[in-house]
Amino acid sequence: MELPDIWFIAIAVLWTGYFVLEGFDFGVGVLLPLIGRDDTDRRVMINAIGPVWDGNEVWLITAAGAMFAAFPAWYASAFSGFYLPLLIVLLALIARGVAFEYRGKGDTDRWRAWWDRAIVFGSTAPAVLWGVFFANLVRGVPMDADGIVTAGITDLLNPYALLGGLTTLAVFTLHGAVFLTLKTSGPVRARARAAALRAAAVAVPAGAGFLAWTQYAYGAAWTLPVAAAAAAALVAGAFLAAAGREGWSFTATAVAIGAATVTLFGSLYPAVLPSTTDAAYDLTVANASSAPYTLTVLSWVAVVFLPLVLAYQAWSYWVFRKRVSREQIDPAPAYGGREPARAGGGERPDAGTPSAPAPSPSGD
């Protein structure tokens, strides 16, 4: 296996980590107005992801940076060809991050309502558009011999890509609802369980259909069991959520997202961006990669720093692993609208089930 192949796998791993971790952040944001009946409920939901949402976005920065460094032609063609949807994703993520920080700095309902809308938009838009983006990567786009993507917006919004967007939105919403059942207590937890079942009613058929389409049209022989495992994990996550097995349910939805991402990258390989104009114009792992010296330097940097990053993130999840409850929310914060982060407090997730590391209260 050559260095370009190794770095293609590394980038697939980074995107997988991003979708598994940021997926539940998006889901919580999408569900904010549906589960949060009052300001205290919404603060419980925001505090559930408060200490980790920005760390989860580091996976996106690292994945995009790795694409730029290891496969500059892939990065240039994909990020310029999908300029409009990726610009919307960027603006949405900025709006969401600002909303998390500024929501609690005003005392009026109107102030918080506007920032809540920014959180919902900043979670829903990326949840949809990442599915559209990766579906089009697998399907291919009109691209000439110079690697210039000539696709218009109507080319990108094809039926396969739209199903991909619906799938990521529904699956991330399910993932976020299950995370809330694992991470909160009281009425928020009860409503999150009901929301998980409703989200599963869309996520399971949409996910199964998208995986079947991907495998039939673009998949390789070895991706068939991976796609089947993703669909089975998604179904299992829904049934486990209904049974109240929250830790196992979260594990199942995380496995479903991870296996689905592997299916997409496996269906894409050895291309990194197929051309629907002419197969001779495809960008591949071989013709889109950086020079061997660059990939060697990148490999040493990754070997040194990646374990440190993973260790720090694992430690932060462990520290903020307790549940968040309404009782922990100060009705009139004296911190500029921000709760102090607490490593303790609240009840532990259900014993006997593997609970995903989950944070404790942070700021609004």
Residue predicted with more confidence, 275 or 336 = 275
- Tell whether the model's pLDDT for residue 337 goes beyond 50: no
Across 246-279, b (16+ Cβ under 10 Å) vs e yields bbbbbbbbbbbbbbbbbbbbbbbbebbbbbebee
Range 219-238 average pLDDT: 95
pLDDT digits (tens, 9 = 90+) for 131-145: 999 999 999 999 998
User: Region 63-89: what's the mean pLDDT?
Assistant: 93
How many whole angstroms separate alpha carbon 318 and alpha carbon 312?
10
The rounded mean pLDDT for the chain is: 88
Q: Which two tokens stand for residue 42?
A: 């919404």
- Summarize the confidence of residues 332-358 as an average pLDDT: 42
Q: What is the pLDDT of residue 330?
A: 72
Top pLDDT among 344 and 327 is at 327
Q: What is the pLDDT of residue 141?
A: 93
pLDDT more than 90, % of the chain: 70
Quick check: 39 pLDDT over 80? Answer: yes
Q: Say yes or no to pLDDT of 153 above 90.
A: no
Using an 8 Å Cβ cutoff, are 252 and 354 in contact? no
pLDDT (mean) for 54-79:
93
pLDDT for the residue numbered 130:
96
Q: Max Cα separation, the chain?
A: 63
Q: How many CB atoms lie within 10 A of CB 292?
A: 11
> What is the model's pTM?
0.88
Burial 295-310 (b: 16+ CB within 10 A, else e): beebeeebeeeeeeee
Rg of the chain, C-alpha, whole Å = 20
- The whole-number pLDDT of residue 331 equals 67
Six-digit token string for 195: 């929301």
The pLDDT score that the predictor gives to residue 154 is: 85
Write out the two tokens for 112: 């918080």
pLDDT of res. 355: 43
Tens-digit pLDDT profile for residues 104-128: 888 888 899 999 999 999 999 999 9
pLDDT of residue 37: 87
**pLDDT over 80 (residue 332):** no
- Note the Cα 157 to chain centre separation in Å: 20
Residue with the bigger pLDDT between 172 and 309: it is 172
pLDDT of residue 344 exceeding 50: no
Q: How far is CA 271 from the centre of its chain?
A: 23
Give me the pLDDT at residue 54, please: 86
Phi then psi for 40, rounded to 5 degrees?
-65, -45
Q: Given its phi and psi angles, is residue 337 left (phi above 0), alpha (psi -120 to 50 degrees) or beta? A: left
Sequence-ordered list of residues with C-beta below 8 angstroms from that of 148, at least 6 positions apart, any chain: 77, 80, 81
On the question of a cis peptide bond just before residue 340, with omega within 30 degrees of 0, the verdict is no
